Structure formats: C-alpha cells, structure tokens
Amino acid sequence: MMNTKSKSLYQEVILDHNKKPRNYGTLDKASHHAVGHNPLCGDHLDIALNLDGERIDSIAFHGESCAICKASASMMTAVVKGKTRTDAETLIQEFRDMAIGQLNLDSHHHLGRLTVFAGVRDLPTRVKCAILPWHTLQAALNSVTTTSTEAEEDPMHAAIGDA
C-alpha cells in the first residue's frame, strides 16, 4: 500500500504523461531554445519553442529525466502551446509557488490540471524535478541558452548563466 504523499504525486495523469510525453522531440523551426540541468542528479531537458509575435505557436522538449520532471514538461508544453508569453510567465510563477507550497490552491489561479503536482511540496528533494521544465521555459523565453537548478538558491529567480 502506498501512503497519501506518494499517492498524491504519482497519479495516473503523471504516470501517463511520463509514459507518453506530449510534444516530445525537436522543432524544425524554433525562435527560442534552452537547456536546463539538474546537476544534483544529472538530469537535463532541452526545450525549443517558436514565438509567433507574442504567441507560442509550437513547443517541444526532450532529454533525460525522472517521471516527475518528464510529466511536468509534457503537461507544461501542452498547456502553454497557443498561449501568449505573458500567460506562460504567469503559469511559470504560479507553478513555482505551488511546488514550494506558497500557492493557495483555493485562490484564483490558472494551473488547472497542473495541480496534480501540488504534492511535490511535501517532497523537498523532488521540488527541483517538477520545476526544471518551467525554469527552462523561462530561460528559453528570456533567450538564455543554458540554465541550472543550482544557478542560485531559488532556481526560478536565479541569475541564469552557464552553470
């Protein structure tokens, strides 16, 4: 029997996205691109996207990662595709807040099904796994080509460089 913590994290939807990740692969035409690393475990994620004006008209990812990270990336790409840069940035902020337990899930937010990752806040060592795709997306939108969860204490507010 699994207990509530792992039940709340390793849900069907996460396992499904891990098994059949959406938007997995590369883009022929990409205006923005970044690679995210988690040096603690060696995981890395490559995210490419194409901005049509302010709108993300295509996005793809690939890399080596755990189920939490891969599912997070898969669901993220599915959600941000077609959205504006501003909408994506709002989601990045909300997802980060949720992962570290600072988002009131009862308040108004835009995360929708992404709240399946809320359980990660109870697993401090896994927060970075869930956040890495979002961190990398932010780097791509800011046209920073490489980033790392260890760039600074708070990965989402990091001064991003060649980590």
Binding residues for other proteins, rule: CB under 8 A, are 2-3, 5-6, 9-10, 15, 18-19, 40-43, 64-68, 123, 125-126, 129
Query: By C-beta, is 32 or 117 nearer to other proteins?
Result: 117
Least spacing, CB of residue 6 vs other proteins, in Å: 4
Query: By C-beta, is 66 or 78 nearer to other proteins?
Result: 66
Least spacing, CB of residue 4 vs other proteins, in Å: 9
CA gap 122, 17 in Å, rounded:
21
Sign of CA dihedral 115, 65, 88, 158: positive
Rounded to whole angstroms, what are the CA distances from 57 to 27, 71, 86, 113, 146? 11, 21, 14, 21, 22
Query: By C-beta, is 19 or 113 nearer to other proteins?
Result: 19
Query: By C-beta, is 80 or 119 nearer to other proteins?
Result: 119
Least spacing, CB of residue 101 vs other proteins, in Å: 17
